[in-house]
Structure 1
Amino acid sequence: MSRLAEFRALEHLLAAKKSELSFIKIDPHLKREFEFEGKLRDLLAEYQFGLSDILAIRGIEDEDSKHSWSPPLPLRRFRARQCKYYRNPYTGEMVEAKSTLNKTLQLWMQQYGREEVKRWATVWY
C-alpha cells in the first residue's frame, strides 16, 4: 500500500471515529455514568476511601457469595437485534432503527442511495 493510500485510509478512519464519538457524547447513558462517577469520587473523598479499599471490600463479599447457591440463568434462544443510529450529515437529523425498514431510512435511501445511508450508521452498546 502506498503512503498516500495509507494516509487516505487513516484519514477516512479518523473521520468515522469522530462521527462515532459525536454520537456517543450525546448518549444519555454516558452522561448518567459520568454523573455517577463524579458522585462516587466525591463520596470516596468525603469518607477518605480509595478505589483499592472499595475493591478489597468487594473482594471479601465475593468470597462469601461463592458458597451460596443461586439458580442458573435462563438460556436465551435468540439474540436481540442491536439498535443502530443513523445521522444524516446533510440535515443533522438522527434516527434510531433496528432495521432498514424504518420509514425515514427508506426515504433517505431513495434520496441518497443505500450504500451512502449505510455509511451513516453507528452502534451504541
Structure 2
Amino acid sequence: MSKILEFRATEEAIIELQAKLDALKGNQGLQEELEFEQKLRQLMQEHGKTLRDINLILDPQTYQQAAQASQRPQQSRRPREAKRYRNPYTHEVVVTKGGNQRTLKAWKEQFGAEVVESWLEGAQQEEPLASAG
C-alpha cells in the first residue's frame, strides 16, 4: 500500500472513531456510569480500600474458593508399581518399576518379550507343569 493510501485510510478511521466518541459522550447512560465510577473511586480513596477489598466484601465466596484452590497440593502422576519377574531357569528375580532394567532387557533379547512378560509374578503361568512320574 502506498503512503498516500495508508494516510487516507488512517484519516477516515480517525473520522469514524471521532464520530463514535462524540456519540458516546452524549450518551446519558455513559455519563451516569462515569459519575458512579468517580464517586466510587473517591469513596475508596477516602477509606483506604482497593478494588480487591471491595470485591472481597461483596463476594467473599469467590475469594475463598480461589484461596482454597491455591492451597491444594499439585496432583502428580501416580507412582509406578514395582513389577517382579522370576526367571524359571535360573530362579533369578528382578524387581523394576520400568522396562529399562539391564537384566530384564537381556532376558527379553534372549527369550523374547512375550516369554519374559509371562514370568511376571502374579500373572498366570503359561508354562505346563512337569508331571511326577
- The interval holding the TM-score normalised by the smaller chain is 0.3 to 0.5
**Higher relative contact order (Cα pairs below 8 Å, separated by 6+ residues):** 1
Report the TM-score when normalising by structure 1.
Answer: 0.45
